[in-house]
Amino acid sequence: MSIVATEQNQSAIDRLSKQFDDLVGSKSDGQESSWIQSRRQAMQAFIQAGFPKKRSESYKYTPVSKWIEKHSHFANEAPSSLFAQSGPLPPLSAPDSKGKSGDSQSAGNRATKAASTSWKSKSGVEIHTQDGHISGSVVGNVPTGLTVCSLKEASLKHPQLFSAYLSKAVVLDRDPFAALATAFAEDGLFIHASESVVTDEVISIHHDGLRSESFVQPRVLIVAEKGASIQVVEHFPHLNAGRTFENRVAEIFVAAEARIDHVLMVERAEEALFVNSLFVYQGEKSYFRTNTITLGGGLVRHNLNFLPNAEECETHLHGLYVAKGYAHVDNHTLVDHAKPNCFSNEMFKGIVTDQATGVFNGKVLVRQDAQKTNAYQSSKCIVLDRGARTYAKPELEIYADDVKCSHGATTGELDEDAIFYLRARGISKDAAKMLLLEAFARDVVDLIAAEGVRNYLYDRLHHLLSVTK
Amino acid sequence: MSDNSTELLHQVATSEYKYGFVTDIESEKAAIGLSEDTVRFISAKKNEPEWLLEWRLKAYRHFVSLMELGETPDWAHLRIPEIDFQAISYYSAPKKKPEYESLNEVDPELLNTFKRLGIPVQEQERLVGIVVDVVMDSVSVTTTFNAELDKNGIIFCSFGEAVQKHPELIKKYLGRVVPYTDNFYAALNSAVFSDGSFCYIPKGVRCPVELSTYFRINESGTGQFERTLIVVEDGSYVSYLEGCTAPQRDENQLHAAVVEIIAMDDAEVKYSTIQNWYPGNADGVGGIFNFVTKRGICEGNRSKISWTQLETGSSITWKYPSCILKGDDSVGEFYSVAFTKGRQQADTGTKMIHLGKNTSSTIISKGISAGNSQNAYRGLVRMTAGAENGRNFSQCDSMLLGDRCGAHTYPYLEILNPSAKVEHEATTSKVGEDQIFYCKQRGISEIDAIKLIVNGFCKEILAQLPMEFAVEARNLLAIELEGSVG
């Protein structure tokens, strides 16, 4: 069994390696851009690491090899055509392979279901993507000093900025999926706020175009220069696109005294695979906050890496997941405190029902020089059904003495006493459960700055949880 | 922190190992190296029955296959130098097989050793009523209070003796909790274990004395492979103590012990350990490699197993006393203080496997690191699908006494049953300057203040130890802490 899996994985790796060579040429001609060079490096890193092994510690509770077997289409059915094309697909183009899912609703258009579950911001900047690339034009008023474009465009128009940041935060040997995405991403999204650009307008990115059965590796680069302040909300709505596999890598730079407020919402279909590798690099006195909300998807793995690499950084990581059906949601975080006087606060909450699995692995690393670090972490999970599983591994790795670090993790059912309290006041059992679950989940949602997003999530949660009970 | 306390911590971190000396007792060693012949040699030496030899050989073959696959455990937060398993002698026994009526007949050299260790065997025997089954390089040397135990039908003897006298019990229970396939070092132990202790408490007996065994590693270049088996029948109770010190060495010594506990209906076992083996010198040279597999099974309903440990020695500690909570309403407890200094490395914790209904477990772990040491807690709490209403509470606190050491926490929480409740919390901090200031203000010296604070930090755990042991433990911790003050 495991041998079969290994072979499958190996053949997948070989195939990907070949596809990569087809894509960028098997040998460097010496004239290559630094981008291509970094992609080659990433590919090397991936080939060396391979897919996470069965006994890999960081994938202990998320047996990827199984999924790679199940989703052998991306290894065997060669989605090479997908990699070969440059630029985004025009909307409504025919699906490239097999035609088996050729019914119009799942073919390369923005899937029909997306519209009903999408969230619209009243103002701000709006971007849509197709297979991870910008599709259409940027909607809304882009404030001066803010650049929103594709990575390709950025490499031509702002070569200096581009090369100063691209691939500088991603750590290739930390996770093979991050390396793979770094290698394959042909293009991506570039958001840059110049020095002292402060805007309350939300930059909304709707990742609402995805061809069915596709394997895409999108890339995002977000930079806030010194003193800038921006809000970015990314939304991956539910799409009827079948067994898609999105393996994305995002790099975020928060320069000195800058501030980025980031929200990521995943609501993909139940057969979708979604791997999100985020690398955040912070400068002095910077502020970064991210809310990672997972309400859909079959296998969702978030690799969230934070490097507050200067003094007095403030980092907030919040997350919420509701896992239903056979979903498997895994939040894997690393806060790497390398410099003194930083603060980080981590809070993840999960509701797991049916046969679903929730995984949380949070690591706080305090290096020897990072004195006076304050790092807090909490992970709470509610399990509603027999058959649902949760795994938590909150880690502290501390090498500095003058620090305050703590973590807490709890798992359990809904509090019987609390339900009783509500029922004693004439509230039905279901309504009581609903109240408690919503209150539990809202703790995380309440921390989102953008009101529109909050309201959208309240609705979605209400819907999701009332279906549950 | 002021210079004073830095100075103090420096002293602590560099204080010499107090119990380093070599006892000169002639011993009989197995030839260096590990092979089937070694296993046969040990088995023959111990005059073991055929089935036990077979079991050892199976374990040996399993160990070899693990070696071939390169499956040495490397997951712990430890830097383990490569161990040459062929460079170790797997058996050594004092040559003069002692069979004494009283301690007066014991080799004076040996008694002197105990004296220097501060173990008042005679006094304990007479005043406190503790039976000391002293294990010195694998073979049990003294057993006292046998009469008292016999009266209650309690069996407490060396493992080798038990194999001869109670083979049916050994055959029934050996490897039941820790099979030889369990892990790398358990396989090694199963193949070459030289001796250990066996304890059997019959139905409805509350063991009138606290059983204790002092383990010592004495012979240079000798690995020690202890095997302890404790079986407690329905409604019985035993408190078992194990304490260790070892002489100073320049070469690394390997210790791979296995402890198995079986508790039947309504039985209770309290297992306490003080571990103070040679931790190596200031550069981390020498010192014991301590790879221990300790596991108890709450086989019966309403049974309870409680582990308490004070870990201050060894250059490497790899130890996870665990409980399998199989019986309904069974209880597992783990209380631990791990103190590391110099270049010591410790990766220790527990596993609580909840199988039965209404099972509960408590984990309290305190880690203190000083010098250049690394101290990690690693623990697993697993609520299996059948563990209805399982309950766990874990608390892991770490204290850092220096800026070159590390304190780490790696809890694993696996919950497969929705009615289970699991709580885990951990904190890491240093001795507060405000706390020291508060004490100094009241005329308490900085040294005493740190002692006081550390003692308070560990109080919860030390309180779990039986009284005589608790005193010893507190002293040991104090000595470890500041070198000279008792």
Contact A390, A413 (CB under 8 A): no
| CB within 8 Å: A409 and B424 | yes
Higher pLDDT, A445 or B109: A445
Over the stretch B122-162, which tens digit does the pLDDT of each residue have?
443 433 334 555 555 444 444 556 677 788 899 988 888 89
CB of B381 within 8 Å of a chain A CB? The answer is no
Is residue A280 within a helix (H) or strand (E), and if so which, with residue range?
Answer: strand A273-282
Flag whether residue B449 sits within 8 Å of chain A, measured between CB atoms. no
Q: Do B428 and A381 touch (CB under 8 A)?
A: no
Q: Which of A23-27, A204-208, B194-198 has the highest mean pLDDT?
A: A204-208
Residues of A in contact with B386 (CB under 8 A): none
- Residues in chain B closer than 8 A to A388 (CB atoms): 418
What's the pLDDT at A138?
A: 87
CA distances from A338 to A439, B91, B374 (A): 35, 48, 18
Classify residue B126 by its DSSP letter. I
Contact at CB, B405 and A408, closer than 8 angstroms: no
- Name the residue among A57, A384, A401 with its Cβ closest to that of B400: A401
Contact (CB<8Å) A398/B428: yes
Q: Which residues of B touch A411 (CB under 8 A)?
A: 413, 415, 420-422
pLDDT tens for each residue of A138-168: 888 888 999 999 999 999 999 999 989 998 8
* B400 and A CB contact within 8 Å: yes
Q: What is the pLDDT of residue B1?
A: 44
**Residue-wise pLDDT tens digits, A215-274:** 889 999 999 999 999 999 999 999 988 888 899 999 999 999 999 999 999 999 988 999
CB distance A398–B407 less than 8 Å?
Answer: yes
3-state secondary structure of B73: coil
Q: Which residue of A has its CA nearest to B421?
A: A412
Q: Does B443 touch chain A (CB under 8 A)?
A: no
Chain A residue with minimum CA distance to B373: A399
Q: What is the arithmetic mean of pLDDT over B268-287? A: 83
Res. A113: pLDDT tops 90? no
Tokens of A445: 């949602």
Q: Would an 8 Å CB–CB cutoff place A404 in contact with chain B?
A: yes
Out of A393, A405, A412, the one facing B411 most closely (by C-beta) is A393
Percent of chain B at pLDDT above 90? 43
Q: For residue A325, how many C-alpha atoms fall within 13 Å in the half-sphere facing its CB?
A: 12
Q: Are A401 and B408 an interchain contact pair (Cβ–Cβ within 8 Å)?
A: no
Q: What residue in A sits closest to B367 (Cα-Cα)?
A: A398
Measured between CB atoms, does A401 come within 8 Å of chain B?
Answer: yes
pTM higher than 0.95? no
For chain A, counts of helices (H) and of strands (E): 12, 20
Which positions in chain A touch B418 (Cβ < 8 Å)?
A: 383-386, 388, 413
The residues pairing with A223 across neighbouring beta strands, listed in sequence order, are A192, A253
Average pLDDT, chain B: 81
CB contact under 8 A, A388 and B418: yes
Check CB contact under 8 Å for B75 and A57.
yes
Which residue range(s) make up the domain with B435?
3-482
A-chain CB neighbours of B363 within 8 Å are none
- Predicted pLDDT at B126: 37
> Per-residue pLDDT tens for B57-74?
999 999 999 988 888 888
Are B426 and A406 in contact (CB < 8 Å)? Answer: yes
Torsions phi, psi of A6, nearest 5?
-60, -45
Of chain A residues 42-81, which have a CB less than 8 A from chain B? 57, 61
Best residue in A396, A405, A407, A410 for a mutation probing chain B (most B CBs within 10 Å): A396
Diameter of chain B by CA atoms? 69
Better-scored residue on pLDDT, B20 or A187: A187
pLDDT-wise least confident of A246-260, B265-279, B289-303: B265-279
Question: Does the distance separating the beta carbons of A398 and B400 come in below 8 Å?
Answer: yes
Contact residues, chain B, for A63 at CB < 8 Å: none
Q: Which residues of B touch A381 (CB under 8 A)?
A: 415
The candidate with the shortest Cα–Cα distance to B256, out of B218, B294, B224, is B224
- Asked if the Cβ–Cβ distance from B413 to A393 is below 8 Å, we say yes
The pLDDT, as a whole number, for residue A91 is 29
Confidence (pLDDT) at B323: 96
- Ranges of beta strands (E only) in B182-233 are 195-201, 211-216, 226-232
Q: What is the pLDDT of residue A104?
A: 37
Query: Is A231:A191 a contact under the CB 8 Å cutoff?
Result: no
Contact state of A397 with B408 under an 8 Å Cβ cutoff: yes
ipTM: 0.82
Name the closest residue on chain A to residue B372, using Cα atoms. A399
Query: In B341-430, which ranges are E strands?
Result: 345-354, 360-370, 374-383, 391-401, 406-415, 421-430
CB A268 within 8 A of CB A294: no
Domain boundaries, chain A: 415-469
| Higher-scoring residue by pLDDT: B401, B319 | B319
Task: Identify all chain A residues contacting B403, using CB atoms and an 8 Å cutoff.
Answer: 368, 371, 400-402
Report yes or no: A390 at the B interface, CB cutoff 8 Å.
yes
**Which chain B residue has the Cα nearest residue A399?**
B406
pLDDT, residue B60, reads 94
| Per-residue pLDDT at A350 | 96
Q: What average pLDDT does chain A have?
A: 85
The more confidently predicted of residues A335 and B132 is: A335
* B148 closest CA partner among B121, B134, B129, B163: B129
Per the CB < 8 Å rule, is A401 touching B402?
yes
Taking the C-alpha atoms of B199, B202, B208 and B212 in order, what is their torsion angle to the nearest 10 degrees?
A: 10
Which residues in chain B have their CB less than 8 angstroms from residue A407's CB? 409, 424-426
> pLDDT of A402-414, one tens digit each?
899 999 999 999 9
Domain count, chain B: 1
DSSP track, A236-269: E------S-EEEEEEEEEE-TT-EEEEEEEE---
Per residue in A33-66, pLDDT (tens digit) is 888 888 999 999 999 888 887 778 888 888 887 7
- Find the farthest-apart pair of alpha carbons in chain A and give their distance in angstroms, rounded: 76
Q: Are residues B416 and A401, on separate chains, in Cβ contact within 8 Å?
A: no
Nearest CA to CA, how far is A59 from chain B (Å)? 13
Which chain A residues are within 8 Å of B411, Cβ to Cβ?
Answer: 392-395, 409
Contact state of B409 with A407 under an 8 Å Cβ cutoff: yes
Helices and strands, number each (H, E), in chain B: 12, 23
A33 touches chain B (CB under 8 A): no
Question: Which helix (H) or strand (E) segment is A90 a member of?
Answer: none
Q: Which of A328, A352, A398 to mutate to test the interface with B (most CBs of B within 10 A)?
A: A398
